[in-house]
A and B are shown apart, each in its own frame.
Chain A
Amino acid sequence: MKKYKFIDNLTSDVMFEAYGKDLKEVFENAAEALFSVICQTKKVGQSIVKDIVIEAEDMRGLMINWLQELIARVDIEELFFSKFEVQEISETKLKAKVYGEKAKPELGETVVKAVTYYKFKFEKTEKGYVARISLDI
């Protein structure tokens, strides 16, 4: 199964769909897609590990909060991430370990300002889950 796919119908910004056979995978793949916009993930090491806990009222909120938290950490901790492991997940809570290294401009791609609600989708399908995300960049 493809991890994610970019969709080319947003004039100013970026939209992608992330896929996963289960919840953990769709959250991991959405984070991977997000960071493929922010930096050159293949060149970003994994020497720094961070524990992340996210809570929300529902699954939709959980996905948005998860991605927003990762975007904020790029600014606050000045890190790029390249590997994401969701360890526990429920409707309203997620625990993850994320791996990365200190941000360097030569490994950067672009600033993602925010996750938006534009055409947001989170669905269970026959094959698993699909999340559609639009980013303001």
Chain B
Amino acid sequence: MKEKLKKLNEFEWELDKNVRPRMNVKARVIGNKKIIDDLDDGTLEQLTNVACLPGVIEPVIGMSDMHFGYGLPMGAVIAFDPEKGIISSGCTGFDINCGINSIRTNLTYDEVKAKLKELVPALFSAVPCGVGSKGKLRLTPGQLDQVLTRGVNWAVENGYGVKDDIEHTEENGCMEGGDTSKVSDLAKKRGGPQLGTLGAGNHFLEIQKVSEIFDKEYAKKLGITDTNQVLIMLHCGSRGFGHQVASDYLKIHEQAIKKYNIWIPDSQLVGAPANSNEGQDYFAAMKCAVNYAFVNRLVMTQWIRETFEKVFNKDWESMDMKTIYAIAHNITKIEEHTINGEKKKVYVTRKGATRAFPDIPALIAGTMGTASYICKGTEIAMQKTFGSTVHGAGRAMSRHAAIKRFWGGKIKEELAQKGIVAQSTHPKVLAEEAPLAYKNVIDVVDSVHGAGVSPKVCRLTPLGCCKG
């Protein structure tokens, strides 16, 4: 399949509609030569599978962090026509509203470095990490319903976060139309004990320093003024609640494709017509999971602030610990985009892709040992990628292969040599998440920067990391 990629320019490539049978639209890939050279055929095949779905709008997009996923690659964006298209639980995936919060401080690298060995363990105990960790909140069913329908508004009313956090969250931290009657009891039971937990795998809480500022003016708007300024990045999602919503609706959508006689090239891409009950029920349940994840990250944000207060003996407001932005990178939404010259409301699914609307920050997570980025969305993104960009470095190696190749203790040592304090529930997590198990984040971000989709604002390098 790769040989069929047509180069449009240094950072953009295209697969024509005729590269395989039954594609409804072209596929576009963002990436520099290095990214394209390293792409595997299976991932591109997956992208062409999505291009076969009914009502899909041209083009389907693979980002520079694209890697093989379930049904469609991680790092993909698809838009569907609201009349002819489908809503697909398979495409949105298991970790609904997996996303990132970035929190700034006015602390410098030197101030934090001196306290790092105290700060990282304190954060590790304040924010429950890993499988088997206990959530500190025990929600009643009534409280959980509030979380699912009112999102971060519930959080702020209950002392988790402030009004300013709401204004700096995608969708203002609440997707309207979440309907708890469309969510299974099992999902609610899984969600109850887990609000305010990080989870495991690639989810993390990281203390970072600004290592380079590319766009001073925009960075200043975000409260980032100096290199060596310390920021915090939190990456996680909707936990067992979202996983269960996805699992439940995959089964419902498996039946729906038979009922509505929809042909799909891969059984993992199940969905239902956008305007059907099965489609809208999923959308309403997915919104509950989206809201859960926004609250989950804000609750932990507040605990991070409280931990900084204890360690630095100052209140969080005086350390200027405001949310720079909170954003989702696994989600389906209705958005207005210009299609064939006309403004139209469409369903956009971002699977391992971040919204990049003009002048709004896009947060991109790197690995423990390399760098993360804050980028800026653009009008070009609206034209080329349905207002979307990459979400992270993207895996280059399976977790199993990483465990075989790396040893967690050695990774921790190597990170320590770079001045990075990493703490995990056990060393294997560090091996799984070894920096070399990922694509080079510089190539990933340079590609979206070069394509004009999301120019770099600043680079953030890790100082301390908590992993599940």
Contacts and interface: CB of A to CB of B under 8 A. Distances in A.
Given A68-B247, A106-B426, A14 B132 contact: no
B132 A103 contact: yes
A103 B131 contact: yes
Interface in A74-98: 74-76, 78, 80
Interface stretch (B65-73, B216-224, B226-234, B339-347): B65-73
Interface string A112-137: 11111110000000000000001011
Contacts of A111: 130-131, 199-201, 468
Contact of B426 (A14, A74, A108, A134): A108
B132 A136 contact: no
Contact of A14 (B134, B189, B400): B400
A4 B180 CA distance: 39
A95 to B, nearest CB: 19
A14 B399 contact: yes
A110 B201 contact: yes
Nearest to A44: B132
A39 interface: yes
A102 to B, nearest CB: 9
Contacts of A113: 94-95, 243
B246 A114 contact: yes
B80 to A, nearest CB: 21
B123 to A, nearest CB: 15
B267 A137 contact: no
Contact of B395 (A11, A114, A116, A118): A11
Contact of A72 (B95, B200, B240, B395): B240
Contacts of B247: 68, 114-115
Contacts of A104: 132
Contacts of A11: 67-68, 395-398
Contacts, number: 119
Given A11-B398, A72-B190, A76-B189, A39 B132 contact: yes
A109 B199 CA distance: 11
Contact of A109 (B190, B268, B428): B428
Most buried by A among B95, B132, B268: B132
Given A75-B193, A105-B133, A117 B267 contact: yes
A9 interface: yes
Query: How would you classify the secondary structure of chain A's contact residues: helix, strand, loop or mixed?
Result: mixed
B12 interface: no
Contacts of A8: 398, 400-401, 404
B326 interface: no
A107 interface: yes
Nearest to B239: A75
A112 B243 CA distance: 9
B235 to A, nearest CB: 14
Contact of B425 (A10, A105, A116): A105
Contacts of B131: 38-39, 74, 103, 105, 108-112
Contacts of A112: 131
A22 interface: no
Given A114-B247, A116-B268, A6 B400 contact: yes
A9 B240 CA distance: 25
Nearest to A76: B189
A137 B240 CA distance: 11
Most buried by B among A76, A108, A113, A137: A113
Nearest to A11: B68
B448 interface: no
Contacts of B428: 109-110
Contact of B70 (A6, A71, A103, A136): A136
A118 B268 contact: yes
B327 interface: no
A108 B467 CA distance: 12
B257 interface: no
Contacts of A47: none
Contacts of B165: none
Contacts of A58: none
Contact of A12 (B67, B190, B243, B429): B67
A71 B94 CA distance: 13
Interface in B379-435: 395-401, 404, 425-426, 428-429, 432
Contact of A108 (B132, B186, B396): B132
B190 A76 contact: yes
A111 to B, nearest CB: 4
B399 A12 contact: yes
Interface string B56-91: 000000000001111100100000000000000000
A137 B70 contact: no
Contacts of B129: 105
14 contacts: A6-B400, A11-B68, A39-B132, A71-B243, A75-B193, A75-B194, A76-B192, A110-B130, A110-B131, A110-B201, A111-B468, A112-B131, A117-B250, A134-B70
Given A76-B193, A108-B130, 7 more contacts: A12-B74, A12-B395, A38-B131, A76-B190, A110-B201, A116-B70, A134-B70
Interface of B: 67-71, 74, 93-95, 129-134, 186, 189-190, 192-194, 199-201, 239-240, 243-244, 246-247, 250, 267-268, 395-401, 404, 425-426, 428-429, 432, 468
